[in-house]
Amino acid sequence: MDKLKVMTIFGTRPEAIKMAPLVKELERRPEFESCCCVTAQHRQMLDTVLDIFQIKPEFDLDIMEASQSLSTITSKCLLGLEEVFRQVRPDLVLVHGDTSTTFAGALAAFYQKITIGHVEAGLRTGEKYSPYPEEMNRSMVGRLADLHFCPTESNRRNLEAEGVSKGVFVTGNTVIDALGTTVRKDFTFAEDVLNRLDYGEKKVVLVTCHRRENYGQPMEDIMAALANIARTHPEAELVYPVHLSPVVQECAHRHLDGMENVHLIAPLDVEEMHNLMARSYMVLTDSGGLQEEAPALGKPVLVLRKETERPEAVEAGTVKLAGVEYGEIVRLADELLDDPAAYQGMAHAVNPYGDGTACRRIADGILYHSGRRDTPPEPFKSR
């Protein structure tokens, strides 16, 4: 049988981190001809991931511009991908998650009647505008895709409730595969402030915040809460790698500049991030990826959002929804910093999101779907 020509398409930091181990898996397997196209919806934050995983995309649409609108991102991706598909006609396109690149990638492939595989399928909040625009991006890709690689059984059930049951595989999340390659005991940080922190004596609180639905009052509340936590807890060191979005940069620096125990630093590369997380006391975040990674490392997480499409770790007790209001964020952070029993109750490693072999299952699922393998991969089951 001919090799299966598979094109992976991604554009932002989290997509790159989660697609990188899959690109490697496809490159390793003789049944595939792997080809990679980045939209570069993100530039610097994408390139550091490509460097670390040594991925050299065959196509780079280079679409990033500061503060561009969602329509601009989507239309540039659509037009760019049309041209790419004219040059290479893949048998299968793989998109990931819920970004504008994901939606445009699936739509462009649909226009050319190319088979679509959706990695990290089936996550839902059920709220059209939360997260915005991600909930609609992933729902629409769920309609367009032919193959759906769900991280968890509960993601599979979400698709089933929408009438999608063909071509569905439960694989675990590829981010857990990535985590297995980055965390090391003897890791030295390039960012000097991270080497100087006393991880034994101090409580290192890792913070990230970037979601569009938090722009405005929610982000004001979150930053004010962080300032309060830093002021009232001299034993804590807040480390906040600030997303490059100009909106986020302005808000974070206005609230937190000049505080002795707050470290506003540039975005970290993925190895630095994972190793910092492994050494930290707890995590405050509105990120999707951090909600999956921190539980695997046994770190309590307060989610700075009103809802989450990742309920598994909340059910396992390592993640709490803190919301976006000043008072509740401060109350929950105080509890974790002051009450050892509350902290211990959340600080146990769980792995509801994967066992580190999601990429193998995805590759096997593709082969099964294309008639190159007799049996489907066994579904991922969380223990």
**Interface contacts to ligand UD1, rule CB under 6 A:** 12-14, 41-45, 66-68, 70, 73, 98-100, 133-134, 210, 212, 244-246
Which residue, 44 or 217, has its beta carbon nearer to ligand UDP? 44
What's the sign of the alpha-carbon dihedral 234, 240, 245, 246? positive
Q: Which amino acid is at 28?
A: R
Q: Give the active site residue among 43, 212, 372, 373.
A: 212
Those residues with Cβ within 8 angstroms of residue 269's Cβ, 6 or more apart along the chain or in another chain: 48, 49, 51, 52, 190
Contacts of residue 141, defined as CB under 8 A and 6 or more positions apart, other chains included, come to 95, 98, 102, 103, 106, 116, 118, 121
Q: Does 137 bind ligand UDP (CB under 6 A)?
A: no
Q: How far is the CB of 282 from ligand UDP (least distance, A)?
A: 15
d(CA 284, CA 236): 13
Q: Which is nearer to ligand UDP, 13 or 369 (CB)?
A: 13
Question: In the complex, what is the shortest distance from the CB of residue 65 to ligand UD1, in angstroms, rounded to a whole number?
Answer: 6
Residue 70 touches which of ligand UDP, ligand UD1, none (Cβ within 5-8 Å per kind): ligand UD1
Q: At what angle do helices 358-369 and 174-182 cross, to 10 degrees?
A: 140
Q: Is 273 in the site for ligand UDP (CB under 6 A)?
A: yes
| Residue 113 CB, nearest approach to ligand UDP (Å) | 29
Comparing CA positions, the residue from 32, 53, 5 lying closest to residue 270 is 53
Q: Which CB sits closer to ligand UD1, 60 or 237?
A: 60
CB of 190 to ligand UD1, least distance (A): 17
The b-or-e profile of 329-359 (16+ CB within 10 A means b, else e) is: bbebbeebbeeeeebeebbeebbbbbbbbbb
28 is catalytic: no
List the catalytic residue out of 211, 243, 279, 369. Answer: 243
Q: Which CB sits closer to ligand UD1, 99 or 182? A: 99
Encoded one letter per residue, x for contact with ligand UDP by CB under 6 A and - for no contact, window 199-238 reads ---------x-x----------------------------
* Neighbour count for residue 157 (Cβ, 10 Å): 13
* Catalytic one of 60, 134, 269, 309: 134
**What is the closest distance, in whole angstroms, from the C-beta atom of residue 134 to ligand UDP in the complex?**
7
What residue is closest to ligand UD1 based on CB?
99
Q: Which of 289, 300, 354, 377 binds ligand UDP (CB under 6 A)?
A: 289
The DSSP H or E segment spanning 232 is helix 217-232
- With CA atoms as reference, report the closest residue to 350 among 318, 311, 303: 318
Closer Cβ to ligand UD1, 22 or 230, answer by number: 22
Instruction: Work out whether 354 is an interface residue with ligand UDP (CB under 6 A).
Output: no
Of 8, 7, 22, which is closest to residue 53 (Cα–Cα)? 22
Shorter beta-carbon distance to ligand UD1: residue 229 or 264: 264
Select 39 or 275, whichever has its Cβ closest to ligand UD1: 39
Instruction: Select the binding partner of residue 290 from ligand UD1, ligand UDP, none (C-beta < 5 to 8 A, by kind).
Output: ligand UDP
**Using rule CB under 6 A, residue 262 touches ligand UDP:** no
Instruction: Give me the torsion for CA of 293, 297, 300, 302, rounded to 10°.
Output: -10
Cα(370)–Cα(368) distance, rounded to whole angstroms?
Answer: 5
Shortest approach of ligand UDP to residue 358 CB, angstroms?
14
CB of 167 closer than 8 Å to CB of 147: yes
Which chain residues interact with ligand UDP by CB under 6 A?
13-14, 17, 175, 208, 210, 241, 267-268, 270, 273-274, 287-290, 293
Residue positions annotated with a catalytic role: 98, 120, 134, 210, 212, 243
